[in-house]
Amino acid sequence: MSDPHSGSTAVAGAAAGSEEPSSAATSVIDPDADGGATSLGGSRSRLERIRARAQARERARAAAREAHAHIRAGGVRRRRTPEELKNVVERGQALLHGTSLPGGPDTQREASAEAVIAWAVREFGPWLAVASSMQDTVLAHLVSKQLPWVDVLFGDTGYHFAETIGTRDAAELSLDVNIVDVRPGQTVAEQDATHGPRLYERDPEKCCALRKVAPMRQALRSYEAWATGLRRGETSSRRNAPLITWDEKNQVVKVNPLAGWTDDQVDEYADAHGLVVNPLLGDGYPSIGCAPCTQRVEVGADKRSGRWAGRDKVECGLHG
């Protein structure tokens, strides 16, 4: 990102409902400024309006959460079978073009990220979830513009950087999304008691399976499709990532709206919309996972080389 810290600041203001909190805070600190008691009263009034807006947002989020849960519980229709969903994938590929051609995607014929999301929202509605590692909030923002209060699944492994948790909290405050914390069956302490301490050092595959893959697979059973931020330019293993595919492991449709986006496109979108990004992106961490398994990356090195450094492992297992 060109300046991830400025992006976070912009969202902090938006989350509060504009830049009013700054002026309010100034007046409270200095009651004699701009009219003393009159200014203090005005500041209190502004703070009340900010509080009212925050409460209204939370009511809207709660109402949408209840409505979406009712739909997925069968209140409108049942969850479609795997065969039915595979047919949906085929129709989507034919409609959006270039997503399953021999030799890999035909990027010249692909639909835009917005068009892919529009298709997914029309096809799935609240049966669609967004998965986010909270490296940035670009995909969550894109989807929420077309499906307000969409469920955003955050894999809370118990090992995240403080900055990642902060990004998660800022996203909840600033975006029209419903953050769903997807947690493992055991706390870190319970896992240590069962499997021994620092499982991530001794058997990272098992640690990822227990704390990331299994919990997300369980969570996805409530949906028909998930949207991910997978991009072809991230690693060689992702270079042929399609826009739409059938996720056999999780038995859901997998939608990758940003598959064809470059790093610059992600940065430009985040900057243009004042979106929060994880501050670690500007501190030598171009790919962010759990704190014990993520290191800074040297300039020019593969950006995922800081994940599970010194091992052949390059994926946690969620994407293959």
Residues labelled as active-site residues = 316
290 is in an annotated binding site: yes
126 is in an annotated binding site: no
Chain length of the chain: 320
Where are the alpha helices (H) located in the chain, listed in sequence order? 4-16, 20-29, 37-70, 82-96, 113-124, 138-146, 162-174, 188-195, 199-202, 204-208, 214-220, 263-272
Instruction: Name the pairing type of β-strands 177-182 and 128-132.
Output: unpaired
46 is in an annotated binding site: no
- Percent composition of the chain: helix, strand, coil (DSSP 3-state, to 5): 50, 10, 40
Q: How far from 234 is each of 22, 229, 266, 296, 314, CA to CA, in Å?
A: 38, 10, 12, 16, 11
Which residues does 270 contact at the CB level (< 8 Å), separation at least 6? 1, 7, 136, 137, 138, 277
* Angle subtended at Cα 163 by Cα 294 and Cα 15, rounded to the nearest 5 degrees: 145
Beta bridge partners of 226: 129, 254
Amino acid identity at 211: R
Report d(CA 271, CA 263) in Å as an integer.
12
Beta bridge partners of 244: 255
Is the sign of the CA dihedral 200, 206, 210, 214 positive or negative?
positive
207 is in an annotated binding site: yes
Give the residue ranges of the annotated binding site.
207-208, 290, 293
- Residues annotated in the binding site for [4Fe-4S] cluster, as ranges? 207-208, 290, 293
